[in-house]
Amino acid sequence: MVGIFSRKARSAFWSSMFAAAILLVAPTGVTEANTQPKKVVELFTSQGCSSCPPADRLAERLVEEDPDVLTVLMPVDYWDYLGWKDTLASPVYSQRQRAYAARRGDRSVYTPQMVINGEEHVVGSREGEVRSALARSEPFTATVDLKISDMVVQAKVDGALPRGAKMATVYFLRIEDEATVDIGKGENAGRQIKYVNVVRNLQPMGMWSGGSETFRMPKSKLMLKGDARCAILIQVEDEDGPGIIIGAAVMDWRSGL
C-alpha cells in the first residue's frame, strides 16, 4: 500500500510515525514547569505575637499580587513561653533569624520581621518600608531550573557568585501553601489566623561555587506529600552565616505550575 503514496504523503507518514515513537520513549512523571522569582522575602512571625497578624496579611497579599517575589513564612518558637505553643514554628527558623542578625551585627531579632534577599530587614507590617526594601534589592546572579520526577528532585544552577564570595548553599524548601489556626491562648487568644507559604522544611542540597552544576536528591527524603509547593534558594554562606540570596525557583510540584 505504501508504494502507491506520493512522495509528499510518504514524508508525512514517516514524520507522524517518528513523532509517535518519540512520545513512546519519552520519560513520564517529570514535572518541569517552574517560575524563577526575582526577589525573596522571609517573614519571621509567631502565633503568640499580637503585632504579627498585619504582617501575615501583608505576606498573603505579596503572594497573591507579585509572582516576581517569593514570599515565605518562617514561624519562630521563642515566644512559646508566653502561653501558646506555635503550631507551625521550628527552632531552625529561630536560629536562622538569629544568624542573620549576627551577620549584620545589629542583634535585631523580633517579630514580625521581614528579611529581603537575605540582607535588609524591616518591620513586616510596614508595607511602605517593605516595598521600598524590595525596590532596593540587587538583581539575582544565578538561575535555577527545577525539575521533579517520581524519584528525584533536580536543580540545575547556572550563573556567577558575587564578587568576593566563594560558595553558596543550594537550599530546598518544602512549603505548605495555606494553614488556618485557631489560637487558644496568649496574645492572640480567640483569633483564627490564616498563614500562607509556610516553610515546613529547609534542607541543603549541596554547595555551589559558580558556573553550571546540577544538584539532585531523592524525592523520598524530602517528604513531598500534602504540600503544594517547593522552592530552591541559592544563598551565599561563609563562616559568618547566611548572606545574600542570589537565585530562586518555585514550583507547585503536584501540578507543575
As separate numbers, helices (DSSP H) first and strands (DSSP E) second, the chain gives 4, 11
Q: Is the pLDDT confidence value at 226 over 80?
A: no
Q: What's the confidence (pLDDT) of residue 225?
A: 61
Condensed to tens digits (0 to 9), the pLDDT of residues 131-156 reads 999 999 999 999 999 998 878 899 99
Reported as a pLDDT band with limits 50, 70 and 90, residue 13 is very low
User: CB pairs under 8 A, 24+ apart, for 79-85?
Assistant: 79/46, 79/48, 79/49, 79/111, 79/186, 80/48, 82/48, 82/186, 82/187, 83/48, 83/185, 83/186, 84/47, 84/48, 84/183, 84/184, 84/185, 84/186, 84/187, 84/188, 84/189
Question: Among residues of the chain, what percentage have pLDDT more than 90?
Answer: 74
Banded model confidence at residue 1, pLDDT cuts 50, 70, 90: very low
Per-residue pLDDT of 84-118, as tens digits, reads 999 999 999 999 999 999 999 998 999 999 999 99
**pLDDT value at position 20?**
41
Whole-model pTM: value is 0.85
Predicted confidence band at 229 (pLDDT cuts at 50, 70, 90)? confident
Q: pLDDT confidence of 2, banded at 50, 70, 90?
A: very low
Tell me the average pLDDT of the chain.
87
Q: Is the pLDDT of residue 8 over 70?
A: no
Q: Is the pLDDT of residue 188 over 60?
A: yes
Weakest mean pLDDT among 47-51, 155-159, 224-228, 245-249: 224-228
So what's the pLDDT on residue 223? 64
pLDDT attached to residue 4: 43
